[in-house]
């Protein structure tokens, strides 16, 4: 900055260079110039500050979620008889970090033991004689290890025998349980979430959550599914903490279109293990269909910070100075040189 | 830049425009100018580089956590007798992704079966005769489906009978179990976390974690709660990897103020299912109170990158050039025009 | 900007200041100037726009994952006999949010009851007489509460008796189960993941996942471990959605080096609880070794946005203007002053 020799360095330190300016008096040039200045100013104030809040330093949310499910259900099926379901029955596993599962449909296979039985009939298990079955073979689509025998599955079909938990589960006919969605998450002593009247209440009815996601409860309960409880927690910490609250929304997360989906719905298998009086292990296998609720918390908090402010204003000022120095240099050349 | 016609484009490409400058020799003007230059320089070096490290590109941490709990506890209660608790008993579910639960208090309701029994007495279940009870009614606050009968709950109170897992759980009197927090997560062969002497050891005593969060273990154990194990993993990758380690801190995550909380503490229900010799299902219902430990990993790693450096230095330089061109133009006008 | 008094403010508003310029005609100066201009231009276009995509506003991914495991396994061990394992047996807990566990090895301790038995022998439990054992003592390395008696553990060793779930688990000899990794996650009716031929298929063989992580399945199955299924979901939303897909990779997440690790591998304990015909509780304790699969989704989506574009171009332009005004001022001084 400025040519200054070492001898005159003290004087040079207090020297200040500036440029000679020429003032252009033209209404057209002036108008366009002011318009561009106004546009940049508008961009800085309107877009950068108000819309994007780029003067803020942001940080993303770190969250921990606890959930609780309340209520009882009743089913009357041929295999189980009349049965009441409470939270210890339908909430599997009993507690999760930010996710809970509500059992809404099931296929029960009681009194399974480790023994042998004929496989479920399909293209590769149907047999005519023992020679069609390979001892020790373990088909990935099958339910166990083949013993090499060909047994009667029904009066008309013979299939290869397997060593497995027998009797095998038959999950072709999924019951259409007509459960009333009385399973809910509210004591009703407290508030209850409602998009219009009570948008801040963290107590939800299962039915409401499913319909907020624009899904049909009965359909989703039969085949199962995954429902996201999205908690949007965006905060502007330049305002009082008071204004910083969560917003709830609901969305189905699994792919319900049967065409491009391997296994529509949501289900998993678990078993309850028992011991018979003679010490042998037996189990009840349950293929559980239900709705998994994933609580997903996201959001950013912003607070005024020097660095992003200077960076954004600086960048806008660069364009502002560009207008005066670069864009107009041609005009200037034409007029004055 | 510069007026150059197409004929003389080659020559014009090697032309360089510059401005004539005027040197202001004034100690006052020079001092103020140098002061502002110094302030901007100080902002760039002191704040942007040292404090905010804005010359770095950052990325957030992606983590996976495994946890293990060790130790045994002993309780002597009227309903269970003397009983030893090991990890398979008090850690429910046996493994989780980044969260584990330690059972510290419980209400056990053994030998429940699907049958009928009178409801727990409250305003809506107390009845005088069968006509007060509605068959098939399923109160969300209740424990099952009403059968329409009015039964003796005790010698003095009659309540509506329900179909449910009977006998019902009575969770009014929460035991004040005097557990010694010997349940711990250390073999003691290894290091043990201590804020002062051993801040990098990943083996913690339950008691220490709770007291680090400034909570009372005995109180928290009785009603349950959620404790965050916060792992702050901020790394400056411009330094050797060696310096990049986690920092542990502990914080209670659930709201312990009873006034604005639906259900203080942390608890959930689960059941162990048995089969009697005649094949009927019975279960032991457990309302489990305990401390859920959520391991929360956060942090950012930063490394020098061209883009943020140029953006930040560029923005500061804009202000620097602004000082010389805009702010001083009035002074200049006064002195020289 | 510009000296304008309040009287002439209207006129002044349409005034435009500009600077007089001097054109330097020197091939050397011009070449260097153009080269620097080119470098800055190259930085803006090549690095900022193409490599770093700094003209985009970014947001990180929010994800929810469902997993399903399929297939059966067979083991033949001395303590359990021949046994078939299906998904309800080896997948513990039956469902998790973004993580699942496949049991690959185990130590079974059947028919435990709450009773007393001699401790496992080690330095602090071996005793000569009852006086070596302290009644009520609860060693953190031990399995229960000492009763104060010294009992025969084997014919040669005496240890202090403890109240615990007896018989105690002896986990010194870990079985080397020769499981065939036929446990897989594919129906084989569908696609199957292959790095080369099918990189987008979300159906994986356990064996393939482990070998993609460059680990040996047999070793990992014996001692257990944690395997990350990393899903990288980076999207450029300025392109059609079509191009926005996940990329899979696999990585072992636990520390397998025995030297700096407290407990290599991954295992946890759980128990199955039974009731004997006389109503006493008994359990089968299982120390489960296996592979925990953590599905970790990460990535950022970027879309063109005004603010980062202006900030980055602005910063580059500042440097561009710097080249013309600061760096060359000395040259100018030499030539013209």
Contact C326 A1 (CB under 8 A): yes
Query: Which one is predicted more confidently, A181 or C227?
Result: C227
| Chains within contact range of chain C (3+ C-beta pairs < 8 Å) | A, B
Name the strand (E) or helix (H) holding A206: helix A206-212
- Three-state secondary-structure class, residue A301: strand
> What is the structure's pLDDT at C21?
52
Q: Which of B123, B160, B129 is nearest to B143 (CA)?
A: B160
**Whether residue A264 has pLDDT greater than 60:** yes
Q: What is the mean pLDDT of residues A113-127?
A: 87
The CB density around residue B313, as the number of other CB atoms within 10 Å, is 21
The terminus-to-terminus CA distance of chain A in angstroms comes to 27
Q: Which of B78, A272, B274 is nearest to C277 (CA)?
A: B274
| Residues B23-60: tens digit of each pLDDT | 556 677 777 777 887 887 787 777 777 777 878 888 88
Tell me how far the alpha carbon of residue A66 is from its chain's centroid: 16
**Whether residue A300 has pLDDT greater than 80:** yes
Contact C88, A270 (CB under 8 A): yes
Residue B317, classified by CB atoms within 10 Å of its CB into exposed (0-12), middle (13-18) or buried (19+), is buried
Looking at residue C324, what DSSP letter applies? I
Contact C87 A269 (CB under 8 A): yes
| Residues C153-196: tens digit of each pLDDT | 989 999 999 888 888 888 777 776 655 544 444 444 567 778 88
Q: Which of A84, B317, A6 is nearest to C325 (CA)?
A: B317
> What is the structure's pLDDT at A332?
45
Per DSSP, chain B holds a count of helices (H) and strands (E) of 7, 14
| Residues A38-82: tens digit of each pLDDT | 887 787 777 777 777 878 888 888 887 777 777 777 777 777 777
Return all residues near A335 (Cβ < 8 A) that are at least 6 apart. Answer: A24
Q: What is the pTM of this model?
A: 0.77
Least CA distance to B307: which residue of chain C? C48
- Residues in A touching C70 (Cβ below 8 Å): 140
> What is the structure's pLDDT at C309?
82
Please state at what angle helix B306-322 crosses helix A306-322, rounded to 10 degrees: 60
Look-up of token digits 């995509």: C53
Which candidate in A275, A288, A326 is best for mutational testing of the C interface (most C CBs within 10 A)? A275
Average pLDDT in chain B: 76
- Three-state secondary-structure class, residue A166: strand
Tell me how far the alpha carbon of residue A319 is from its chain's centroid: 41
Residues of chain B with pLDDT under 50: 1-9, 12, 180-188, 326-337
Rounded Cα gap, residues C321 and C319, in angstroms? 5
Alpha helices in chain C (DSSP H): 9-13, 27-42, 87-90, 206-212, 217-223, 306-322, 329-336
Looking at residue C325, what DSSP letter applies? I
Give the ipTM of the model, two decimals please: 0.73
Contact B30, A30 (CB under 8 A): no
Contact B72 C22 (CB under 8 A): no
Contact A54, A312 (CB under 8 A): yes
Q: Which of A296, A281, B182 is nearest to C144 (CA)?
A: B182
**Whether residue C230 has pLDDT greater than 70:** yes
> What is the structure's pLDDT at C150?
92
Alpha helices in C43-123 (DSSP H): 87-90
Contact C120, C143 (CB under 8 A): yes
| Residues C187-222: tens digit of each pLDDT | 445 677 788 887 777 778 888 888 888 888 888 888
Q: Which of A202-216, B9-23, C1-15, C117-131 has the lowest mean pLDDT?
A: C1-15
Percent of chain A with pLDDT over 70: 80
Look-up of token digits 């046996």: B94
Partners of A117 in the β-ladder? A162
Rounded Cα gap, residues A301 and C237, in angstroms? 24
Name the strand (E) or helix (H) holding A220: helix A217-223
How many residues in chain C? 337
The CB density around residue C115, as the number of other CB atoms within 10 Å, is 14
Query: Which one is predicted more confidently, C118 or C105?
Result: C118
> What is the structure's pLDDT at A4?
42
Tell me how far the alpha carbon of residue B126 is from its chain's centroid: 43
**Whether residue A144 has pLDDT greater than 50:** yes
Q: What is the mean pLDDT of residues A328-337?
A: 44
Question: Closest approach of chain A CAs to the CA of B212, in angstroms?
Answer: 19
**Whether residue C140 has pLDDT greater than 80:** no
Give me C50's structure tokens. Answer: 């193409």
| Residues C123-138: tens digit of each pLDDT | 888 999 999 888 888 7
Return all residues near A278 (Cβ < 8 A) that are at least 6 apart. Answer: none
> What is the structure's pLDDT at C332?
45
> What is the structure's pLDDT at B158?
92
Percent of chain C with pLDDT over 90: 4
> What is the structure's pLDDT at C3?
41
- Determine if residue A177 is labeled as part of a ligand binding site: no
Partners of C300 in the β-ladder? C60
Contact A321 B325 (CB under 8 A): yes
Contact B206, B291 (CB under 8 A): yes
Contact C23 B15 (CB under 8 A): yes
> What is the structure's pLDDT at A184?
46
């Amino acid at each position: 900055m400025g040519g200054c020799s070492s001898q005159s360095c003290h004087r040079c330190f207090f020297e200040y260079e500036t440029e000679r300016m020429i003032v252009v008096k033209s209404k057209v040039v002036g108008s366009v110039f002011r318009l561009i200045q106004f546009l940049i100013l508008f961009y800085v104030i309107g877009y950068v500050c108000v819309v994007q809040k780029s003067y803020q330093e942001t940080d993303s949310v770190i969250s921990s979620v606890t959930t609780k499910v309340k209520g009882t259900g009743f089913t009357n099926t041929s295999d189980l008889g009349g049965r009441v379901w409470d939270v210890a029955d339908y909430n599997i596993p009993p507690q999760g970090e930010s996710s809970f599962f509500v059992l809404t449909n099931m296929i029960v296979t009681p009194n399974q033991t480790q023994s042998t039985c004929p496989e479920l009939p399909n293209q590769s298990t149907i047999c005519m004689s023992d020679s069609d079955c390979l001892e020790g073979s373990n088909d990935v689509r099958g339910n166990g290890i083949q013993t090499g025998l060909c047994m009667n599955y029904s009066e008309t079909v013979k299939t290869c025998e397997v060593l497995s938990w027998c009797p095998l589960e038959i999950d072709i006919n999924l019951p259409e349980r007509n459960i009333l969605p009385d399973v809910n998450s509210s004591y009703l002593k407290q508030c209850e979430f409602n998009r219009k009247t009570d948008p801040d209440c963290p107590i939800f009815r299962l039915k409401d959550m499913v319909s907020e996601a624009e899904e049909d409860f009965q359909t989703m309960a039969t085949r199962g599914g995954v429902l996201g409880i999205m908690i949007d927690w965006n905060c502007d910490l330049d305002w009082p903490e008071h204004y910083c609250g969560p917003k709830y929304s609901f969305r189905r997360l699994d792919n319900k279109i049967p065409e491009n989906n391997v296994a529509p719905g949501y289900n998993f298998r678990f078993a309850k293990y028992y011991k018979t009086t003679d010490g042998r292990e037996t189990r009840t296998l349950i293929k559980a269909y239900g709705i998994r609720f994933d609580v997903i918390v996201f959001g950013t908090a912003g607070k005024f910070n020097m660095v992003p402010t200077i960076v954004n204003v600086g960048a806008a000022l660069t364009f502002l100075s560009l207008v005066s120095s670069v864009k107009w240099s041609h005009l200037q050349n034409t007029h004055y040189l």
